[in-house]
Amino acid sequence: MKELTLETLIAVFEEMYGPWLFWAMVVVAALITVAFLYVLIRDRTIEGRYLARAELTAPIGAIAAILFVQYITSSGFSDIGGPIDVIVVLMIGVAGAGGLTFLVYVAQAFMRQPGKNRN
């Protein structure tokens, strides 16, 4: 690849998912991040109880992300051919784990009933 700028990367991602789906995903990711920041600022701390529950879902997110990528690319674990492949699998797993953890954390924080004693 001759030049890999952010502009090129965005253009490639737009082609990969279609511009609407790509930017919709960016917006959803941004909204979840903003929602996370919101509850963080609102609560002024990370709520350990929510975090512990959210972290329990991390392995599910990791495995789901890896299986999804393998499914759309007609490949499997036996195709891992070198260290970089292991790193890529781990990165996909971390992304899936992180994404689901954030989502579940934010969902719990929003579902907290207002006025209820938080221990």
Partner 1 sequence: MDHPDRIALSRRGFLGMAAGGMALAGTGAPARAQKVTSSARIVILGAGAAGTAIASRLVQRLDGATITIVDARKRHLYQPGFTLIAAGLKPAAYSVSSTAEWLPRGVEWVDEAAAEIDPEANRIVTTGGKSIGYDFLILATGLKLDWDAVEGFDMNLVGTNGIGAVYAGPEQAEATWGALNRFTDEGGKAVLFRPATEMKCAGAPLKYAFLTDDYARRKGSRGRVEVHYHAHGGALFSVPIVNEKVRMLFDDRGIRVQYNHVMKAIDPGKRILTFATPDGDIETDYDFTNVIPPMIAPDVIRNSPLPWQEGAWGAQGWAEVDKATMRHVRYRNVFAIGDIAGVPKGKTAASVKWQVPVVEDHLLADIEGRLSPAAFNGYTSCPMITRVGRAMLIEFDYKDNLVPSFPGVIAPLEELWISWLMKEVALKATYNAMLRGKA
Summarize as ranges the residues that interact with partner 1 (CB under 8 A): 1-3, 5-8, 11-16, 37, 40-41, 44-49, 51-52, 69, 72-76, 78-82, 84-85, 88, 118-119
Q: Which is nearer to partner 1, 74 or 113 (CB)?
A: 74
- CA 9 vs. chain centroid, Å, equals 19
Q: What is the largest CA-CA distance in the chain?
A: 58
Q: How far is the CB of 93 from partner 1 (least distance, A)?
A: 14
Q: How far is the CB of 34 from partner 1 (least distance, A)?
A: 9
Q: Are 43 and 80 in contact (CB under 8 A)?
A: no
Q: Which is nearer to partner 1, 40 or 64 (CB)?
A: 40
* Tally of CB atoms within 10 A around 19: 12
Q: Which is nearer to partner 1, 85 or 110 (CB)?
A: 85
Q: How far is the CB of 60 from partner 1 (least distance, A)?
A: 22
Rg (CA), the chain: 18
Q: How far is the CB of 46 from partner 1 (least distance, A)?
A: 5
Q: Which is nearer to partner 1, 16 or 111 (CB)?
A: 16
Closest CA relative to residue 104, chosen from 56, 62, 66: 56
**Residue 82: exposure state from Cβ atoms within 10 A (0-12, 13-18, ≥19):** exposed
